Each structure stands twice: as structure tokens, then as C-alpha cells.
Amino acid sequence: MGADRGRARGKLLGPVVVLGCGSLLVSGCASMPSSGDVHSVSASQRADSQVQVYAVPPRPGAGPSEIVAGFLEAMTSDDPQFAMARQYLTVKAAKDWQANQVTVLADGPDPQPNRSGDRDADSSGFTFTVSGKPVAVVDKQRAYQPAKPQDTYTQTIHLVRQSGPDGSGREWRIDALPQGLLLGQSDFQRIYRSVNKYYFAAGQDRLVADPVYVRQRTDPETQMNLITQTVQSVLDGPTNWLKPVVASKFPSGTSLKSDTKSLALDDRNALKVPLNERASNAGEAQCKRMAAQLLFTLRDLTTTRVGSVELDRANGSQLCVLSGDQAETYAPDRMATSPGQYFVDAGGHVERMRADTGSDNAGGSVDGASGADGSDSSVVTEPVQGPFGKGEQQVRTVAVSRDEKRAAGVSADGKSLFVAPLAAGGELARTSVTSADKDTNGGLSAPSWDGRGDLWVADRDAAKPRLLRLVQGAGDPETVDVAGLNGARIQQVRMSADGVRAALLVADGGRTTLRIGRVERGVEAGRSVVSVVELRPAAPQMEDVTAVSWAGRSRLVVVGKEAGGVSQQLRYVQTDGSTSAAGTLPSVNKVTDVAATDDDRMPLVAHSQEDGIVRLPPGANWKTAVKKGSAPAYPG
């Protein structure tokens, strides 16, 4: 039963109990267990993703309020084809109603009688207005689209009297209603889960994550289990937002072989995928890339290491097999297994942090080894090789290339951008990127490297704000057109490893928000042109964002304040704007910068105005690593 509607409808609902088999039995929701104890459960317990919900048909003689309540409850069920939910509808409405998109409301739908539009207002019809605070819509492509803060949801459900199943009586049934499922947020999080599916960046052998939502258990409409739903979603192609910059290697029209409902990994953690005739003539190289899309998708779906993916023709013969090791050729992120953690020290030079393994510390220092300043004595810091480590040029921010061979730094006054190798004997190169901003806190933002080796930086000069790109970190800067800013200014840019998405902190009207843009590349008049288009909110629940970093293939870590909040928060968000309660991180005081990596085994690193450089290893608490330092950075 839906916990959200328990709050929204109050007296409309009956008692709630849970069966030992993991299903719920309620007034309006029931299951048919073969055994198991029955015990009561509070609303706070009903968001368990393992709980299966089955609806019951409408009670004979049920009034309009009970019919509407039962139907809204039945939409949270796992009944095949939502058969019980359709029993609350007239024959025509049951045939026309489609459950292929989801509207998510914060506290669930709130139905209230509204007789003002009913003719005769007595026995021929009955109208309910259903309202709620919208959170998002999950569309037919399974793509999550967050609502705007000012949005409202108001729709109507209309009922009429009709003969009962046996031809007698006059039963209330719904004859007009909104399309799709209508779920409260906790029901949505119980029923659905976010999954990254993968496609190739246009013109590259590099995969890009495309987040969608699939049912945790068997999908009522298709009767596919979780793995089968996910595989089919990859075959369906990329979501509309990502489609212009990626490509699927599956031939057009490829689908699962008919009647494929229950794919599963075997005892070798291998998956066999039977495809229809459209894929039967794919060559070996193409087939390997098709399998790579599925293998990386499955890796994000399960904690079990996927050994291999086998694609089969419609006649059952093998098309190709791709192992996990072979798939690494197409990995979205190709950084080192343990990427470096960098920061700018009190003298304006770049240092690297690493764990103290107890070896000879010559050439480095254990910051706070005595523990007197409260810092982590297990962290060793040492200047990087090259001009940024010991040269005369001071910097205030730094970005290290993803191969960790070069770094880019912004001068202490924020006006100039430098690039230098991270190697002894390397020379410092002043780029032609400069800012005329007179604001001492403005000028050039922290730079960012994408996975293609290009360097990006924002000029925050109020008189001439720009987003700039240096191809391979050298040459003349190219001004990147950013569509949809409408006078707002970019304060920070963070490029994804795949190079097709840009995370932008955008200042507008006294607020700084996080937006994700799609990076499109083309050719005009014989020269390459890059633009960032179709900006969308990535943290709509936050009204003032301080810092952001990529923390996964479709995930970011964000520092900011929620709408109506007073304290700073750190949380994970998806690039589609979705989030979960599990995304909230332990707080730390006055964070100005944050750095993360796609490897979730590596610690988060942040700069606190009170505590210096702090680190958050998985499963631990924040701890000071360097008391006097700023601008933490991972490669990227």
C-alpha cells in the first residue's frame, strides 16, 4: 500500500498489515500468500523495495470516494497489466488508460470531491479534483524529468454509475482520468530504481551513461524482470536529451527475441541475450560494441561482477561474446585505478596527497603527524613534479588532466591561465586566456579537463562573461556558445569524463544553481564548432549551490542549500535531477570546494574555511588532511 496516500487521504483508507512473505494486505490492497504471519506496520515502514503489493477489486456497492481511493492504491500494485486497477474503470476507460509514464507527487495524490462541474449533481456523475506537489515525470522513455519549484499538479477524475458485473445494481466506476501512473515519492522510490544504460559518444569508442528508471521487480505491463527491462531499454535507444550526441551500435529495430521475459546471470555471472532478426547480420566488431553497451549497463545494475555478455541470433546461434576485461576498451572513464588527490598549498603551489604506507617519507611530509592540529597523520603530502610544484608562479585553483601528465592553473589574481607538465624539467606555458574582471573574487573559474584532452574554463567578468575551450589544452581559446543562459553567468564548469556533458554553476538573480548541458560538436566553414545546449536543472531542490564535482558516470556531488533551508548540505544527485534519501552526506562546516572521482572507493575531498582540506573515505567521517590548503582536485 502507498505510504504517501495514507497521509493524503486520511479517513479514506483502512488498516494496514504486512505478511511474512513480504507482501502487503490492506483495505484496497491485498495479497494471496500461501503462508506467513500477519503483523501491523506503520507508514514509515512501507517504503521497502522488497514489499510486493497486490490490489483487490472494488467492493460491491462502494461509494465514489472508496472507488477513487481503491484505484489510486491499485496503481501502486504489482498486478499483471494492472488488472485490478482497471476494474475500477469503465470498460472504455480501462481499454484507453495507459500506464507507460509516471507522475511523482511529493506526498501522494490528494483527491477531493468537486461537484461544481457535475450535471444534475445527484446520481448521474461524480467528479474529484486530484492535486499534489509535483516532483517529476518519468516519461515513456523511462527518462526522469524534474518539476519546476513553481509547478502544481491538478487533474480531475470523473465517475459514472453503471451496471455491475452480473448486470444488476448501479456501481460507481471511473470513466475519465489522467493517463499514466500517479505515485507518491516514497512509493516511487519503492517501486522504481535508477539505472545507467550506455551508448557511444558520437565518433568515439567511449561509452556515455544515460540514466533511466525501471521497475525493481517484474513490470506489470511487459511482465519482464529487472534485467530484461533494462536490456530492452538499451535496445530501445538513448533518451531524447542525450540522443543528439551519442549512438547505439545495435541495428535499427533490434529488440529481444519475442517472449523473452526473464533474463538472468548464470553461475559464471554470464548473460545470454537472444535478439531478433534485425541483429543477425551484425559483424564481429559491431557486435562487440553492442555487447559492451549491455555489459556496462549490467555492471551498474548489479553488485555482482558481470563475467561476460553473449549475444545470440534469433535462430539461437551465437553472434559474439564479450568478456568484462575486453569491455574495458570502451570504458567511459579511463583514469588510473587510484587517481591522485591534489590541492593548492598555502604558498600557492600544487601538492599531491597520498596515504602513508609507513615507507621512507623523504621528499614529503606527514601533515599533522603529531596530531596536534587535528589533521590526519595517515596522509602524506608532497609537491608535484614540474613548475606547479616548486616554480615561482602561484596559483589559486588547479585542474589535472585525466592521464595525470599535465595540469592547468589559474593565477592567484584570477586573470591568467597556465598549463605545465607534471614532470621534472617541464616548462610553464602561459595560455592566451586572460580575464579583465576587476573583481578580486571573480576572474577565471577553476579549469576542467574533459576525457578528450580539451581544457575548459569560465571567464566570470561581468562585462564579458564567456565559456572557453582550449583544444588539447593549447592554442587560441575558442568561445563556446551556451544556449539558454538568458543573461545568467557561469561561475564554474565541470566536464564529464566522456566529454559530452558539462556541469555548470550558473549565477542568476542572486542565486547560483546547477545545470547540465549537452556538448554538441560540428563543423562550420571548415572549422570545428562546439556549443553547450539544452540546459536542464540537476539539483532542482537546491536554491543556492556552492560547489559541484562529478562523482560517477551520471552522478554529481553537490554543496549547497535547499529551498527554504538555512544550513549547507552535501548530497549526491543524478544528472537527470533525481535524488534519494541515501544521497545525503555527513555535513562539514563552510565548504567552498569539493572533489570526487568516478571510483566510489576513493574518498571525497573538500575545502572547509574552518578545517582546511578534509577527506571523507567510504563508510567513515570527515577528517582534516591538510590544515592550510585549498582548491582540492581529482584528475578532470
Only one residue has cell 599533522, namely: 368
* 96 to 157, 304, 326, 474, 531: CA distances (angstroms): 14, 40, 47, 59, 42
* 454 to 495, 496, 514: CA distances (angstroms): 10, 11, 22
Whole-angstrom distance, CA of residue 329 vs CA of residue 326: 6
Q: What is the pTM of this model?
A: 0.87
Kindly give the parts of the chain with pLDDT less than 70.
1-51, 117, 119-123, 164-169, 334-337, 356-377, 581
Instruction: State which H helix or E strand residue 606 sits in.
Output: strand 604-608
Residue ranges per domain, the chain?
3-190, 218-330, 341-633
Cell of 425: 624539467
Between CA 384 and CA 392, with CA 387 as vertex, the angle to 5 degrees is: 120
Give backbone dihedrals phi and psi of 410, rounded to 5 degrees, phi first. -95, 135
Q: How do strand 102-105 and strand 181-184 relate by DSSP bridges?
A: parallel
pLDDT of residue 122: 53
Greatest Cα pair distance, the chain, in angstroms, is 93
pLDDT of residue 368: 36
Residue type for position 529: V
pLDDT of residue 49: 52
Whole-angstrom distance, CA of residue 504 vs CA of residue 539: 11
- The domain covering 341-633 belongs, at the CATH homologous superfamily level, to TolB, C-terminal domain (2.120.10.30)
Q: Which residues of 449-461 are buried (b: 16+ CB within 10 A; e: fewer)?
A: bbbbbbbbbbbbb
Dihedral sign for Cα 6, 12, 16, 22, please.
negative
Q: Which residues of 559-589 are buried (b: 16+ CB within 10 A; e: fewer)?
A: bbbeeeeeebbbbbbbbbbbbeeeeebeebe
Q: How many helices (H) and strands (E) does the chain have?
A: 9, 43
Cell of 480: 563556446
75, 79, 80, 158: which is closest to 116 by C-alpha? 158
